[in-house]
A and B are shown apart, each in its own frame.
Chain A
Amino acid sequence: MNRAILDLWVGAFVALGFAALMFLAMQVANVSEEGTRGETITLRARFEDIGGLKVKAPVKSAGVVVGRVAAIRFDPQTYQAEVEMKVSAAYPFPKDTIASILTSGLLGEQYVGLAAGADSEMLKDGDRIEMTQSALVLEKLIGQFLFNKAAEGGSNK
């Protein structure tokens, strides 16, 4: 076969292969996702129970991704979970922001939700969010529900 045609085909093949890789990186894995792009600051928060939260889970505020969970550790002093988040430096949050662990949909993945407070002072790199709300664990909810029912039934008698 003609050398030039061969080169052309192989060139097209390689270009196609790299285009596919780019597609997988950009569209499928979404490397350039908002909230992880550009400069970030690190925030910490302690939770009683993080449920199924995983590293790299999104950090959202008002439903918009503003960051990612960077690390999860167990603190043996307080017996709590310490979650480290990288949040876009472009969105400063007030000191009295509340961090809670939420679930997208009934069976969806868990993420950290940030509800902004009203403080005039802003959180800085390395700061800790003091007010947190743990994950709702289904078994606990059901247990509580049954307990309440039982208590109701008892008092109604």
Chain B
Amino acid sequence: MKKQSMFPLNHVLGFVLSIALTVGAVFIVYQTDFSASVKMNIIGTLAIFQALIQLIMFMHITEGKSGGINIINIAYAIFLAIVVVAGSIWVLTTGHAAM
């Protein structure tokens, strides 16, 4: 455990950052004239930062001693994300209706 201070600086910082990233994404989609694919790339990048902030500032992956379980947990989560996202895209874009 890190030392506990009264003011939850990390949490507030994380909170502000995640709101900023979300608002940023909305702004880029609605208020800019980038092409669709550029927009996608930008908000995709923002999403990755968002995930990192959540993991480090709120879910404390860098702390704690149950490292083994955390690793399995993250590996499984990544596996699931790939199955759900890549699997869905594969299934839905290769069918007869899409060709």
The finding on whether chains A and B are genuine partners in a shared complex, rather than unrelated, reads no
Chain B residues within CB distance 8 Å of chain A: none
Q: Which residues of A contact B (CB under 8 A)?
A: none
